[in-house]
Amino acid sequence: MKKAIKSYSRYEIIKELASGGMGSVLKAKLKGVEGFEKVVAIKTLLPRYAGDGDFVERFIFEAKLVANLVHENIVQIYQLDLVDGEYFFVLEFVDGISLYDFVEFHKIMNKRLPLELAVFIASRAARALAYAHSRRDGSGKPLNIIHCDICPHNILINQEGVPKITDFGIAKAATMRDSGLVSGKLAFMAPEQCLTPGHLTCAADIYSLGVVLFYMLSNHYSRDVYSGRDALIEQIRSNYINWSVLPEELPDGLIDILRRMLAASPGERFKDSAELARSLEYYIYKDGYGPTIVTLAEYMRQLMPGRFAAAEVMEDKTEVLPPDFFDRTVNSAHHE
């Protein structure tokens, strides 16, 4: 039996999806023999990161750590490679939209995401977190995988209505880069990420997902994100939450779940992401039925036919959208 098989992977770049943050995101085709092709996403590193030996070491470590995360609600990492001194990730390409753009579309249309679909998306993200948080190595030792940057940009929804968390490992490597300095998207950050960033647990991801759910339900951030960085950090540390922007008709049961997710103390939140997932699922399925990926996909097709269905002539179409709105595919999430 052969001990190794050497092969050369050729990627044909289709277009750049986004640039900024940690690097560029490219849509590409993996080209194989006999005309084999597979569409993938490639995430490169900016030179300022690629030249930082300490960061690259952590980046590689995290890539190895999360390489075997295989879950329907997690964007899979296929490969970490090095070409001409530049590191890049090869990722599952998700044809759809980021949760951020999805909510922004609702804002433009003066709508809110239906409550049950918001809870459904959060429940799928919670299941992805439960899977990642529970991973162990070959000896049974917990791997302590924490995302550290759960936010609407890092939750993608494909055309089949499947929510997927992206940037596992990439987010954590970036958070660890400054050895304890605040890193990540402040609007969705847990208090302890500002207070003790070097000692995070899965409770930080639970909190951030709570802010995401708050954002989906209200079309608003839970904090005053326009007050400046220093003021925003102080809001995070004091766990300031503007509960008044939530819809008045929000059911008490869902408010209770949100308050527990957004508790200032990690110990007062759900004990783990699996318990959170069960609570969210019970809330939407307790009557024996509730939303599925089919429900979400159909809603997306009805709401955004120009993006999720064949082009149709619509006499009553009156949306006024940015010209490039539907070109900003979900993989733009990776550059944040």
Q: Which residues are 19's β-sheet partners?
A: 24
User: First CA to last CA across the chain, in angstroms?
Assistant: 45
Tokens of 45: 């590193």
Between CA 239 and CA 75 the distance in angstroms is 30
Q: At what angle do helices 115-133 and 202-218 cross, to 10 degrees?
A: 170
224 catalytically annotated: no
* Beta strand pairing call for 155-158 and 163-165: antiparallel
CB–CB of 181/55 below 8 Å?
Answer: no
Q: Which of 101, 149, 167, 205 does the annotation list as catalytic? A: 149
| Among 220, 194, 190, 192, residue whose Cα is nearest residue 207 | 190
CB–CB of 329/17 below 8 Å?
Answer: yes
CB–CB of 148/166 below 8 Å?
Answer: no
CA dist list (Å): 15 to 10, 19, 113, 165: 15, 11, 30, 22
Q: What residues have CB less than 8 Å from 112, skipping those under 6 apart?
A: 106, 217, 218, 219, 247
Q: What residues have CB less than 8 Å from 132, skipping those under 6 apart?
A: 66, 69, 71, 74, 145, 147, 168
What positions carry a catalytic annotation? 149
